[in-house]
Structure 1
Amino acid sequence: MNLRQLEVFQAVLQTGSMSAAARLLCITPSAVSKAVAHTELQLGYRLFNRTPAGLKPTPEAQVLAVESGSIYRQLDSLQRTARNLATTELGDVRLAAIPSITHEFLPTLLHQHALQHPQVGVEVRTIHQDQMTQALLTRSVDFGLGFFEHPHPQVHSELLVSGRLSLAVARTVWDRAPRAAALAARLAQVPAIRLVGDDPMRQSIDSTAHRLGTPGGPGIQVQTSRLALELVRLGMGWTVVDFLTAIRLDPALIVAVELHDLPPMSLYSYHASQHPPGLHATRMLAMLPALLHQALSPRPRA
């Protein structure tokens, strides 16, 4: 099968009809029909059977679909790269970020990028750290943003900024203790809101809980720091948050205490080592240092 035959084959697979495949490829239905017939003649077997519900792939076509799917995706990626290189104005960027970055910082980046490059489309995927490898190596995204250096040998990590972790607790819970009380005394009977699974923040929470003598027991474990913070706001316990989240907390509702006994947390950008970001993704990445510096600058007090 040549690339044109592959393109037609995939279009018929996706749409289930010659006419719909023709509209997808911007050619005539007869051209699609001829391409399928020529491919079947070359291969020596049928690819599609006509049914009341439309064209259905034969068992042979289903095997071909699995084998050719990755080739078709690579072809689509090649075409996309070629379009991005053809002009400095049109194109798109696909990025992935962990939830805390997506909710706390990414809107600022997307807003500034849209002002500077209004003709460039942006696709954002919110994923967890353990999903980053697949997204990068399958080229589903151009780059990713996450905390901690990525351990995979085929993923390149670029340090962007570092900051302190903070313990977050509701103002109502914090103010129950005398002002001079130490942190351990203030939170001696306050449970920790932990994160489930292999989230890297879990270790920081567990370490802080051990140091503070936090009560044991099953407690509450959640999947995202955002949900943990909602429980903190309700006075259900304390949790540990990153520096981007800490600076956006309302001090009237939540107290953020920097944890100097824990190592700083670093924000990194990631990309597949064999596939560096293209022009538009590189432009977006170049905006990050200044925006992060601005976001982390001390704000004037009212």
Structure 2
Amino acid sequence: MLNLRQLEVLRAVMRLRTTVGAAAEIGMSQPAVSNAIKNMEQQLGFPLFHRLNNRLVPTEEATSLYLDSEPLFLMFQGIRQKAGDLRASRSGRLRVTATSELSDSLVPRLFARLAPRHPQVALSIETRSMTEMLDALEAGITHLGLVMEPDPRPGIDARPLLQLEMVCACPADSPLAALPFVTPQDLQASPLIAAPAGTRIQALVAEAFRRAAQPFAPAIETRFMNVGLRLVEQGLGASIADPLTAAAADPRRIAIRPFRPGVPVTLYAVLALREALPEAYSLEA
């Protein structure tokens, strides 16, 4: 059976793909990390990595171990944060996890409201993908998640906060910028930057194209809408984004136009069902 330290080594190598990077992250020497991997492979009786051009490519077995062990590290992170709070004698800590675009646009404004009202409360923000956020909530290492259109999950309470209408973001010098609003037909002449296939956001946008009887064929897919806006800034195409994210774009480089037909998108606060957000930390505060 592998111990926690061995799993920590495996996790670091899985994430960084080199023993040098893993050694720096977990405070070991590079030879010690290499030896730890060899010892694990001998102990388990199967290889964990293929060695290709000085890179370590994980086997299916290594990937399975990594995914199964990740909840342990999430739980450990939560315990470590709690111990730090107790040591600092804080009156409390509010841990917020948000997707990349909301960490850019919404969370700074939220913290600007909360911090002056609760000076004895330690605030922390983690930026994660939606799946990682929901995992962190279930593991108890974050109190509150902020996300657009979360996937349903039995152990998660998703509370709608605000419904918005998606907008079109295009380069400031694009012909689209001169239009009063942008339609799927208008976007046929421009490369489209969209959320990945299988996501709720892409499904909403694709449905708008279907209703307009226009083909939906993204040229570039990106998981986070703020990254999509950076691509728009480089002139790589247009994107359909939520207005919170779009408002954070550079108006000298990006034009924001209404998108028709309307695509409603909802901002949610997500919490673990077993916990309630303390009233003192309410978003209404």
Interval containing the TM-score (normalised by the shorter chain): 0.5 to 0.7
Q: Is the 8 A contact 1:91 1:119 kept in 2?
A: yes
Aligned residue in 1 for 2:202: 202
Aligned residue in 2 for 1:146: 147
Distance 1:172 1:213, change over 3 A: farther
Q: Verify: 1:283 aligned to 2:283, yes or no.
A: no
Cα distance in 2 between the residues matched to 1:110 and 1:253: 28
Amino acid across the alignment from 1:165: M
Cα distance in 2 between the residues matched to 1:192 and 1:131: 27
Cα distance in 1 between the residues matched to 2:213 and 2:152: 30
Cα distance in 2 between the residues matched to 1:208 and 1:122: 39
Cα distance in 2 between the residues matched to 1:182 and 1:75: 45
Segments of 5+ residues of structure 2 without an aligned counterpart are 9-31, 33-68
**Which piece of structure 1 moves more, 188-197 or 257-266?**
257-266
SS state of the match for residue 173, structure 2? helix
Cα distance in 1 between the residues matched to 2:184 and 2:191: 12
Q: How does 1:164-175 map to 2 (within 5 A)?
A: 164-174=165-175
Cα distance in 1 between the residues matched to 2:119 and 2:100: 25
The alpha carbon displacement at 1:150 in A equals 4.7
Aligned residue in 2 for 1:100: 101
Q: Is the 8 A contact 1:96 1:144 kept in 2?
A: yes
Cα distance in 1 between the residues matched to 2:275 and 2:232: 41
The alpha carbon displacement at 1:260 in A equals 4.6
Cα distance in 2 between the residues matched to 1:123 and 1:231: 29
Aligned residue in 2 for 1:155: 156
Dislocated runs of 4+, deviation >6 Å: 77-80
Q: Looking at CA atoms only, which structure, 1 or 2, has the larger radius of gyration?
A: 1
Give the percent of matched residue pairs that are identical in Structure 1 and Structure 2. 21
The alpha carbon displacement at 1:138 in A equals 0.5
Q: Considering only aligned residues, what root-mean-square deviation do their CA atoms show, in Å? A: 4.1
TM-score between the two structures when normalised by the length of structure 2: 0.62
Q: Is the 8 A contact 1:156 1:271 kept in 2?
A: yes
Q: Is the 8 A contact 2:229 2:246 kept in 1?
A: no
Deviations 1:228-286 (A, max 9, x none): 11111122111111121133344443222223524421111111111223x3xx433x2
Aligned residue in 1 for 2:274: 274
Aligned residue in 2 for 1:253: 253
Cα distance in 1 between the residues matched to 2:151 and 2:216: 33
The alpha carbon displacement at 1:166 in A equals 0.8
Number of residue-to-residue matches in the alignment: 221
